[in-house]
Amino acid sequence: MGDERHEKIQKRAYQIWEREGGGDPEHHWHRAEAEIDREAALPLTADDALPQTREIASTDVLEVEELAMRTGISGDEAQALLDRLGTDRAAIEQAARGLKARKGAKS
């Protein structure tokens, strides 16, 4: 990955240099390096970014409504997921996305 990263930084630094019409190559390199590293740390899609993990109570109406709105499933479906999966937020989010995808495929 080191060579690939170096090539990406080199290409980005050149793009910055072109965009700015020249300037300090070292400054462009550092900016490119920061951009590439920041992009590598980002999730690939919004679905890859799971919410902050914390325990939730399935009886919390606001959590049920928020899960339903965020994922596009019904409130009853959200409550059922919370009841079935307990406090495992990552599992709940994954199951909700899967449920939404299955519902979309049936349409």
Instruction: State the pTM of this model.
Output: 0.41
> What does the pLDDT read at residue 11?
93
> What does the pLDDT read at residue 19?
84
DSSP strand E in the chain: where? none
Q: What is the DSSP string of 73-93?
A: --HHHHHHHHHHHTT-HHHHH
Distance between CA 40 and CA 32 in Å, rounded?
12
Assess contact for 36 and 8: CB atoms under 8 A.
yes
User: Three-state DSSP class for 50?
Assistant: coil
Q: Where are the domains of the chain?
A: 2-42, 50-106
Nearest to 100 by CA among 79, 80, 74, 76: 74
> What does the pLDDT read at residue 40?
78
> What does the pLDDT read at residue 58?
45
Mean pLDDT by 10 residues, the chain (107 residues): 86 89 89 84 59 53 78 83 78 82 69
> What does the pLDDT read at residue 82?
80
